[in-house]
Amino acid sequence: MIAKGPFQRFLRTIGPGFITGASDDDPSGIGTYSQAGAQLGFTIGWTMVVAFPLMAAIQEISARIGRTTGKGISGNLVRYYPRALLCFIVTLLFIANVINIGADLSAMADSLKLLVGGPSSVYVIGFASVCVAAIVFLDYSRYVTILKWTTLSLFAYVVAMFAAKVSWSDAARGLIPQIQWSGTFLTTLLAILGTTISPYLFFWQASQEVEEEEAKPAAKPLKWAPWQAARAFQRIRADTLVGMALSNLIGLAIIFTTAAALHNAGVTDIASSTDAAKALEPVAGKFAFIIFSAGIIGTGLLAVPVLAGSAAFAVGEAFHWKVGLSRKPKEAVAFYATLAAAAALGTGIMFTPIDPIKALYWSAVINGMCAVPVMIVMMLMAGRADIMGKFPVEGWLRLLGWLSTVAMGLATLGLALQWVI
């Protein structure tokens, strides 16, 4: 079928990078950005501008690894690195993803409860079931199309931003970097970096590049088909830049919304995205509240399958299982079972003493800490000719990748120093 309208053509053009960027603004991320804007106001907005080139570079590198080698991050780890390192990284990723899934499902359920009432526990189970059923039983091409359309939910936060009556002069000043040596600032900085530069995004985009390549009969891993590289790298860069720009613009819109509506009104005690939605109603009105709450549900429906899927890809490749969303469930039983298990374990957090509101924010901090070892290994991997063939990552892209890794490391170190001093 030929795409007729400009938006339909756009949907056919974009791919793994766009979906990855959009899924980054999950309920956990929304909670992080909301807390940042409420606590620190417009002064924290610059972090989204600085994070963009770092995030885009590391995501492009992960995509290049997948497209060049025909294997995901875990698939390359198992072939070229010690088993102990593989187990360490995959375990960290799985734990972080499960916590993230639980926090996201809880936020989605609480948002629906705010809108229509009812029991949160039932909504958690319902959302988890819908997400798993969609990713397991829908045809891959149809499922990807659904993910692309789901990204429209992100624009709820652009609408909310204009409803909050942002002072654009204050917002512009917030784009100028300002550093504060305080526990609150450093924790918020790491949480922002952790939710914009998350390990599951690396694994997902690399694996989706492999999936896209396998879905096209003429496409081959670039290591064995170097003549396809120029066009593939051009597409990857455009796709990734668009996806990461969308992700960071939406994050900035959320910070501006909560800075204008909450911080300026003295409301700084925000622990989650649903707290932000509730606090918005008396300050910015019912419309902003509804838009913000609905956005949490929409972004969660996009992010939860990506979180569960990236965990399944990582575990499946580590054990040499058949993996891939284009495979039927009976062709990749262990892969889909792992995906369902990650979602089930995340759902189970709702029924434990763990506070889902605290898990929502700290999942971003945990992601930040997990990202550093993953990024170091990924950068080393991307520079090896025996892995990347004729296409090791070099030049400014490699520099930005290492800058991204160092930034995550410094933020993690700063937070650790605050805890011990």
Q: Which residues contact 322 (CB under 8 A, 6 or more apart)?
A: 316, 331, 332, 334, 335
Name the one residue in this structure whose structure tokens are 């829908």. Answer: 138
- Report the SS3 class of residue 375: helix
Q: Residues 47-56: pLDDT tens digits? A: 999 889 999 9
Alpha helices by DSSP H, 138-182: 140-150, 156-163, 168-173
Residue 31's pLDDT is 79
Q: Residues 284-330: pLDDT tens digits? A: 667 777 887 888 888 888 889 889 999 999 999 999 999 988 888 88
Residue 78's pLDDT is 92
From residue 169, alpha-carbon distances to 42, 162, 174, 260, 280 in Å are 10, 14, 9, 12, 21
Q: Which two tokens stand for residue 287?
A: 């419309």
Residue 198's pLDDT is 84
Residue 27's pLDDT is 81
Q: Which of 25, 50, 41 is nearest to 265 (CA)?
A: 41
Q: Which two tokens stand for residue 269?
A: 């005690």
Q: pLDDT averaged over consecutive 10-residue blocks of the chain (421 residues)?
A: 56 72 80 85 90 93 95 93 90 88 86 85 90 83 77 80 85 86 75 81 92 86 93 92 91 90 76 67 71 82 89 93 88 93 90 67 67 91 94 94 90 68 61
Contact, 408 vs 193, CB < 8 A?
yes
Contact, 289 vs 278, CB < 8 A?
yes
Total residue length of the chain: 421
Residue 7's pLDDT is 56
- Report the SS3 class of residue 223: coil
Residue 2's pLDDT is 47
pTM, two decimals, is 0.89
Number of neighbouring beta carbons within 10 Å of residue 283: 17
Q: HSE on the CB side for 214, CA within 13 Å?
A: 19
d(CA 140, CA 302): 15
- Please give the single-letter amino acid code of residue 242: V
